[in-house]
Chain A
């Protein structure tokens, strides 16, 4: 049996070679007429990369994106900084993101005194104040606690702040790019605190960073003992310096600024602190002249990412069936659903959620649409687990005015023109 088998193999190899020779002759005969008008030359001709060696495996020992992706970057604008690029923000290119995880190098970066580069060997976390046992942990000791990994967005409450008066940007990156999402790994603070003997009068916690700005924010103890974590990893690797390497606070669903980066101190107290970022800034001045303070959660929100001003419909024609896709999120819990309007908010239909639907996390939504080639006013409106619905611009401005800078979550509308061009517009009464 074995011999017969091997004879068969030999026979079939010979047959294969014979056929090969014949096909080479045939191809040669056809060669001069090879390219027909309908033939794509990219298919008809071998490309450079398929006819030579690629990069050796030891070329990028920490991988980098394809050089062709060099335009997918964070971007900055002088008007969004306090005088320079140290107290400033670099916006996430959410128009170019897929799914719900932001690559670490593209995660938006807001800091108040530059990106500190902290030596992890000199990292210490101190917990003190109204506790029986004040504590110091090194990074190694911190990492001994049982870990959890959770997926949450972090959004600066100033996201969309340039839109209060009128539309001003025509790129999604600057309309909604002050946010990103990652899988965060760390320890729940309740595991660390439960053994420290928190005193009964304790109600508030000051979380402070060790960067240039020594940024501090007050967090209620209830949140700290609920889902707050100290995290040291994002998307499987150590935090990037821009995200507070080696350790940041994670307060799921809350203002980005409260997720204190370069965290080195937690002080337990009986009163809130009223730090610079909860008095002079991160307070919402209302038309009454009074300001809301301590507005912690990021409210329900959404935006259509395909199409958007960056990803237009110029390549489509009337009759094409197109997927409309976007991101919805809420710091109050799950996104329960998203509605889509094609007429600037007069009539709405329900979109589908897709992929992972997680609490306090970006959620993708989708709507399959047959375009008749006519202009549209395309809007999305999310609603969440606590029953909150994204307001119209009129509804939001009527209550909040235009001077509170933060927490803008009004419905975003794209004008889709007949030629497929997409523009950022506002719908106002």
Chain B
């Protein structure tokens, strides 16, 4: 063991020494051995091999399993691939034909999205805020709200690097309770609307209300924050760029020395505003028998209850969006309108409630049964 002042040695020599052994630097710090780029996998991790039938010096493996070439399964047909290949890559590979307008998108957004994401996507109800951010806020750091610190606003227009992600997200992940239900034209319209709200330009011009946005026009969109991300992963060197980045812990604030003695002193910061009260169920170390649950009888296992769970609970499970079954105050006035009115509103839609809650596959009888179940729980 020897003491070494790394600062006095040229970088190349120091790196070679570090790579070869653990060193004590300055007495109180232990410098760790770091592998070379060649010894690392693509994520900067140690690259493990199979040696003498042992993987990663840990797991025995059957070497013959690595030599066999199994031919199981069958070829995917072109139609099958087409049916499942629903992604839209950042270079627009996979974007289907279609068209829409911001005006149509506005209506669709009101019908399918606003109950969670708020008017014009400005957020609310705990669901993600989609719009209203500004790229200039991305350098904000909300360290202390009492200091007047503001958070960065990661809205679509301010943060997302590619509009392709928006199209793909809406098509395959939304509307939240029943994704894959929007037509491609409807998706084009909602995307056009959100881009318009975010003041994204096409060919240097704002998106007009009735401007037709189709595949060709959408592919012209360049998002303001397209260069706001690193490392560069898109070119032919993408994987290698990632490897270099992840292999250098300085890039993510991680030291490679262990300070052992007289390390920097700090002050103790205690919890000021604990969030523990919101934990469900409350934390406890008690070992006892569970309290007897009230016996069923609320039809929790019924078909209507199950349909409610799968089709309605995404909104009606959140009091900020829609009345929750069991919330007697919220239901009193509604129940007074009579069952027929409630059936009618549920089937045809009413205010924020889309027809059948957006679950067009439900029969009228199913919807009525669900209403009965919700009312039954709320009396």
Task: Report the bound CA distance from A396 to B42 in whole Å.
Answer: 23
Contact of A43 with B by CB under 8 A: no
Number of A-B contacts (CB under 8 A): 384
Q: Does A170 contact B271, Cβ atoms closer than 8 Å?
A: yes
Q: Does B254 contact A273, Cβ atoms closer than 8 Å?
A: no
Task: Report the bound CA distance from A70 to B292 in whole Å.
Answer: 12
Q: Does B278 contact A78, Cβ atoms closer than 8 Å?
A: yes
Q: Does A279 contact B160, Cβ atoms closer than 8 Å?
A: yes
Q: Given that A79-B278, A166-B271 are contacting pairs, would A194 and B287 also be in contact in the complex, using a CB cutoff of 8 Å?
A: no
Q: Which residues of chain A from 379 to 397 have a CB within 8 Å of any chain B CB? A: 381, 383, 385-392, 394-397
Task: Report the bound CA distance from A83 to B313 in whole Å.
Answer: 12
Q: Given that A216-B87, A425-B269 are contacting pairs, would A295 and B246 also be in contact in the complex, using a CB cutoff of 8 Å?
A: yes
Stretch from A9-17, A130-138, A365-373 at the B interface: A130-138
Return the CB mask of A406-429 against B: 1 if under 8 Å, else 0. Answer: 010100000100000001111111
Residues of B within 8 A of A345 (CB): 263-264, 266
Interface size, A (range): 35 or more
Residues of B within 8 A of A390 (CB): 254
Task: Report the bound CA distance from A58 to B377 in whole Å.
Answer: 35
B277 CB → nearest A CB, Å:
10
Task: Report the bound CA distance from A427 to B264 in whole Å.
Answer: 10
Residues of B within 8 A of A78 (CB): 126, 278, 280
Q: Does B33 contact A387, Cβ atoms closer than 8 Å?
A: yes
Residues of A within 8 A of B91 (CB): 271
Residues of A within 8 A of B180 (CB): 214
Q: Does B46 contact A191, Cβ atoms closer than 8 Å?
A: no
> Looking across the interface, which residue of chain B has its beta carbon closest to that of A167?
B271
Q: Does A331 contact B229, Cβ atoms closer than 8 Å?
A: no
Task: Report the bound CA distance from A45 to B255 in whole Å.
Answer: 59
Q: Does B160 contact A253, Cβ atoms closer than 8 Å?
A: no
Q: Given that A128-B85, A213-B179 are contacting pairs, would A75 and B138 also be in contact in the complex, using a CB cutoff of 8 Å?
A: no
Report the count of interface residues on B (CB-CB < 8 A): 126
> Looking across the interface, which residue of chain B has its beta carbon closest to that of A194?
B69
Residues of B within 8 A of A377 (CB): 268
Q: Does A126 contact B80, Cβ atoms closer than 8 Å?
A: yes
Task: Report the bound CA distance from A162 to B238 in whole Å.
Answer: 32
Return the CB mask of A331-367 against B: 1 if under 8 Å, else 0. Answer: 1111010010000111110000000001110000000
Choose among B61, B73, B144, B280 the residue that contacts A137 (Cβ–Cβ < 8 A). Answer: B73
Task: Report the bound CA distance from A213 to B251 in whole Å.
Answer: 32
What secondary structure prevails in chain B residues at the interface with A? Answer: loop
Residues of A within 8 A of B376 (CB): none
A79 CB → nearest B CB, Å:
6
Contact of B288 with A by CB under 8 A: yes
Q: Which residues of chain B from 261 to 312 have a CB within 8 Å of any chain A CB? A: 261-276, 278-281, 283-290
> Looking across the interface, which residue of chain B has its beta carbon closest to that of A146?
B65
Task: Report the bound CA distance from A364 to B62 in whole Å.
Answer: 28
Contact of B331 with A by CB under 8 A: no
Q: Does A386 contact B274, Cβ atoms closer than 8 Å?
A: no
Q: Does A165 contact B268, Cβ atoms closer than 8 Å?
A: no
Q: Given that A296-B43, A348-B258 are contacting pairs, would A273 and B89 also be in contact in the complex, using a CB cutoff of 8 Å?
A: yes
Q: Does B283 contact A427, Cβ atoms closer than 8 Å?
A: no
A168 CB → nearest B CB, Å:
5
Residues of A within 8 A of B32 (CB): 336, 383, 387-389
Q: Does A332 contact B285, Cβ atoms closer than 8 Å?
A: no
Residues of A within 8 A of B336 (CB): none
Stretch from A21-29, A231-239, A240-248, A286-294 at the B interface: A286-294
Contact of B141 with A by CB under 8 A: yes
Task: Report the bound CA distance from A360 to B55 in whole Å.
Answer: 13
> Looking across the interface, which residue of chain B has its beta carbon closest to that of A398?
B253
Q: Given that A85-B317, A271-B234, A280-B160 are contacting pairs, would A264 and B89 also be in contact in the complex, using a CB cutoff of 8 Å?
A: no
Residues of A within 8 A of B159 (CB): 280, 285, 291
Q: Given that A146-B65, A293-B230 are contacting pairs, would A135 and B76 also be in contact in the complex, using a CB cutoff of 8 Å?
A: yes
- Given known contacts A67-B290, A334-B46, what 19 new A-B pairs fall within 8 Å (CB)? A82-B128, A83-B321, A134-B81, A142-B73, A144-B72, A148-B61, A169-B276, A191-B70, A214-B179, A223-B43, A274-B161, A292-B231, A295-B252, A296-B242, A348-B258, A348-B260, A392-B264, A398-B253, A423-B271
Q: List 24 A-B contacts (CB under 8 A).
A: A71-B286, A76-B280, A82-B126, A86-B176, A113-B173, A134-B76, A171-B276, A221-B239, A264-B84, A265-B84, A271-B91, A273-B89, A285-B154, A291-B228, A292-B230, A310-B285, A344-B265, A346-B265, A360-B45, A385-B35, A386-B35, A389-B255, A425-B269, A428-B266
